[in-house]
Amino acid sequence: MSRFVAITAVRDFEARVRQAITGALHGELQTLSPDALASGTDGVFQQLAGEPLEVLILGPGVNPEDALKLATVFDLQYPEVSVLLVSETSPDLVLRAMHAGVRDIMAPGIEVSELRVLLERAALANASRRRGMAPAAESVQGRGRVIAVMSPKGGVGKTTVATNLAVGLGQVTPMGVVIVDLDLQFGDVASGLLLEPEHTITEAVHGPAADDSMVLKAFLSVHPAGIYALCAPERPADSDYITPDHVSRLLNQLASEFKYVVVDTAPGLGEHCLATLELATDGVWVCGMDVPSIRGLRKCLSVLRELQLMPQGRHTVLNFADRKSGISVQDVEATIGVPIDAVIPRSRTLPFSTNRGVPVLQGNPRDSAAKGLKKLVDRFDPLWESSAHHKLHRRVVVS
């Protein structure tokens, strides 16, 4: 049975947690006063009774500094315990919470339905850590969404779309997003996010990290936007040591720990890309506004239909859109046979932000390209998906 402990003095929040657990999750809730923060892990365990602690909820109504100190100790002494922090978010707090080992941050006014999902995911993560690997990832329930960002040809801005998508989703779900650079020979996610990773995907798929999700998390790089990143190998030759089986295992592990796993694949349909598509819940196809790119995407979609590897969620992005190109959005749709879901106009801001290593969605620029990227991010927001949408693909205007 899952065991939930909340350190809070806010009765309304306590009632919502009980409501989220009752009838949906196995286990019970025990509430401790905020004074328990000062007593450390030993003091917390002395006050517990019944089943072992699996999910610890810190707040609301507690000092964030004391909460992060306790979370750090739990991360070192009891890494199997999933720690959740209840607080209003800020970039600094999110970054510190990540380093403290906090699994998720939730707003004090979180709805019961969303709270139930977070508690369930935290309980599943605890179970997988206790077993030393992630069997929960083999179950659809509790898995995060695996989003494969693809293009049949290079040079269409696929990595730019992938990094901005990850940063945008990080604003929706802080600390719940990881981006994986699966362009194993020439991946640019590290430079696109201005990261100097201590570890790469090569180390993540070999050794203890391949069997333990907690160890794997130590190989991820933390980005200030509140997301994690697993970058490509430093040497192209290292790609020979990463097999499709390694990719499948890695994505299963990450899907059990994160709500969104954004995978920046290599151009084309290589074996690593096909291994990703076998697990992907969503595919984002990036296409440029030129004839070779459009025809390449048409062939790619045709092959994937024949192989029955089309993910359930399909999202098509038209990048570098420009009405002066002589091709309209309707021409592209007619050629590839599927609607365009997001249009990213040609912009000076986007390449400038890419060269700086700061994704355009990391700030808040008033730019047409940023609006197109935000529209793509919105397609993965549960609030957007739950609302009705009509004529999604009509009257697309390219400036």
Question: How does pLDDT run across 289-332, given as a tens digit for each residue?
Answer: 999 999 999 999 999 999 899 998 999 999 999 888 888 999 99
Domains of the chain, first to last: 2-131 (3.40.50.2300), 145-386 (3.40.50.300)
Q: Write down the pTM of the prediction.
A: 0.75
Structure tokens at 112: 């019961």
Confidence of residue 243 (pLDDT cuts 50, 70, 90): very high
Which H/E stretch holds residue 84? Answer: strand 82-86
Q: Is the pLDDT of residue 397 over 80?
A: no
Q: What angle do CA 160, 166, 168 make, to 5 degrees?
A: 100
> What pLDDT does 386 receive?
61
> What pLDDT does 136 receive?
39
Return the closest-CA partner of residue 101 out of 132, 60, 73, 133: 73
What are the CA-CA distances from residue 380 to residues 125, 183, 312, 329 (Å)? 22, 23, 13, 22
What are the CA-CA distances from residue 300 to residues 57, 79, 152, 297, 309 (Å)? 46, 43, 6, 5, 11
Pair type for strands 27-32 and 2-7? parallel
Average pLDDT over residues 167-178: 90
Q: What angle do CA 148, 151, 155 make, to 5 degrees?
A: 125
